[in-house]
Amino acid sequence: MLSQDEIKSILDKVMSISTADETEAYVGSYRNSLTRFAENHIHQNVSQDNVYLSVTAVLGNRMGEASINKMDDDSIKRVVSDAIEIAQLSPPDEELLPRMSPQKYQEVQAYDPDIDDLTPMDRAKEVAYVVKACEKNGLKTAGAFTDSSGISAMGNSKGLFASYKRSDINFSVTAMGDDTSGWADKSSFKRSEIDVKSIGQIAIDKAISSRNPKDIPPGNYTVILEPDAASELIGFMLYGFNALAVDEGRSFLTDKMEQNIVGDYVTLISDPYHPLHQGRPYDGDGIPTKRIELIKNGVAQNLVYDRLTAKKHGVEPTGHGGGGRNAYGAYPSSPVMDGGNATLEEMIASTDKGILVTRFWYTNYVDPMKLIITGMTRDGTFWIENGKIIHGIKNFRINQNILDMLNNVEMMSKPVLAGGIVIPAMKVRDFNFSSGTDAV
C-alpha cells in the first residue's frame, strides 16, 4: 500500500505535467483479501493489491477524464495526455464548475494496522472452528471472511489535497440443514470487534431453532426486525434525500419536506464522524462532509446537496456529491438512525403474537415514490407467542410501505452497525407479510 507521502508525490507530478487550465486527480492504493467457504470447507483464498490514478483535465468549459493503474513516469505522462485530449474532444458543459480551493477536513480514525497483520492461516483457523461447530450439529456452512485496507487521496491544481485511510473486516456465515438455515454477519474497521466464534454460534443457534418450520398464514403481524433486517429496508429511503432527485420529482420526499412523514421517535442522520462509521470526511469534489439531520423527530428536515444542485438553490453543498461527471446528485453515505433502550429479549417478551425476522433478501422497489418495498425473509424467521420464541416458520414475501412501518414502531434497541447503517432492532405493529415462499 502506498504511503500518503508517495501519493502526494504522484499528485504533485500530475500537476507539474498537466498543461490544462485546471487539473484534478485521484490516487488510490488498496489491498483486499478473501477466504470463502461452502459445504464445510474452504474453496477459495485470494488477495489483491492494486493502485489507480484518475486524472481530470479542464479546458475552458470542456472536461476530460482518463484512468490508469500504473504509477511509473511514462504511464503518468500518458494518462495526463489522454485526459487533455479527451477534454479537447468533449462537448462544452455550461454547468461545469471550477475546481475547489484548499479545504479543512475533520480528522477520522478508520484504520487498524492489526487488520493488515491477518494472514490466510489466521482466517482459515477461524473458519475451521465454525465448520467443526456446524458439523457437530449436523449442519453445513457457507460464508466469507474478508479484510481490506487502503488509502485514497485527491488533489488539484489549486492546491487542494485530501486523503483518507481505512481498514475493513467482515465475517458472514450461513449455517444450513435440510429444512433450515441461520445467518449472522458483522463488519467493522477494527479487528477486535470481529469475534468469529460468536458470530458463527449465532448462525448455528438460529439454524437449530428453526428446524421443522411451520406454516403461518400471510397477513399483518407485529414484527421484530433485527438490525440487519431493518437496515435492508431503511436503505431504500436514502436515495430519496438527494436534493437533485427531489428537484426532478423522483423522490418520495417531493412536496413533503418539513412535514411529519414518520413517527416522532424517528431521527435519521448522515454522520461520517459517528464512532461506528468513521467515514471519508470529504466528497468526490473535495467538499468537507457535513453531519446532516435528514429526519428529526419524524419531520423531513434536510436534504444532501452536491455542488451543482446547491448552487442552483443558493445553499452550501453538504459534502455528499460524487464528483467528476456525476449526474446523480448526492447521497447520504453514513446513515445513523437513533434507537431506544429496549433489548431484543425485552421486545420478544413484550409480544403476545408476532414474528422475529433475521434478515431479508431479494428486496426491491414496488413503488419508489410511495416507498413500497418487496422482498423475502431468510435464514431465521420465528413465531413468537406469549413473549417467547415458539418455533421456526416458513419464509414470507413482504410488501411493505417503509413510511407506514416507521409510523408503527413500538420499541427500539440501541443502534449497531448493520448493512452499512447504524441502526436499532425495532418492534413494529401491522407489518405486511403478503404471501408465503418456498425459499428455505
Domain boundaries, the chain: 4-193, 213-440
Model confidence pLDDT, tens digit, residues 47-97? 999 999 999 999 999 999 999 999 999 999 999 999 999 999 999 999 999
Look at residue 325 in the predicted model and tell me its pLDDT. 79
pLDDT at 312 over 80: yes
C-alpha cell at 93: 458543459
pLDDT at 187 over 80: yes
Beta strands 219-225; 353-367: pairing state: parallel
Which of 33, 31, 83, 32 lies closest to 53, judged by CA?
83
Give the pLDDT mean for 109-134: 97
Tell me the pLDDT band of 221, cut-offs 50, 70 and 90. very high
Which of 113, 411, 414, 116 lies closest to 275, judged by CA?
414
Tell me the pLDDT band of 259, cut-offs 50, 70 and 90. very high
Percent of the chain whose pLDDT exceeds 70: 100
The type of residue at 203 is A
Model confidence pLDDT, tens digit, residues 318-345? 999 998 878 899 999 999 999 999 999 9
Cα torsion through 399, 252, 336, 344, rounded to 10: -20
Mean pLDDT of the chain: 97
Distance of alpha carbon 15 from alpha carbon 22, whole angstroms: 9
Distance of alpha carbon 175 from alpha carbon 140, whole angstroms: 6
Tell me the pLDDT band of 440, cut-offs 50, 70 and 90. low
Burial 340-365 (b: 16+ CB within 10 A, else e): bebebeebbebbeebbbbbbbeebee
Percent of the chain whose pLDDT exceeds 90: 97
Q: Are 289 and 320 in contact (CB under 8 A)?
A: yes
Look at residue 377 in the predicted model and tell me its pLDDT. 98
Q: What are the φ/ψ torsions at residue 32 (nearest 5 degrees)?
A: -125, 135
Q: Which residues contact 251 (CB under 8 A, 6 or more apart)?
A: 239, 240, 241, 242, 245, 369
Model confidence pLDDT, tens digit, residues 137-172? 999 999 999 999 999 999 999 999 999 999 999 999
Is CATH 3.30.2290.10 the classification given to domain 4-193? yes
pLDDT at 255 over 80: yes
Distance of alpha carbon 323 from alpha carbon 320, whole angstroms: 9
pLDDT at 439 over 80: no
Look at residue 1 in the predicted model and tell me its pLDDT. 86
Which of 305, 340, 349 lies closest to 326, judged by CA?
305
Sheet (strand 62-68) strand order: 62-68, 41-59, 22-38, 140-156, 161-176, 181-188
Give the pLDDT mean for 249-272: 96
Give the pLDDT mean for 362-380: 97
Model confidence pLDDT, tens digit, residues 285-308? 999 999 999 999 999 999 999 999
- Residue tagged 492504493 (cell numbers): 29
Tell me the pLDDT band of 438, cut-offs 50, 70 and 90. confident
- CB 313: neighbour CB atoms within 10 A? 13
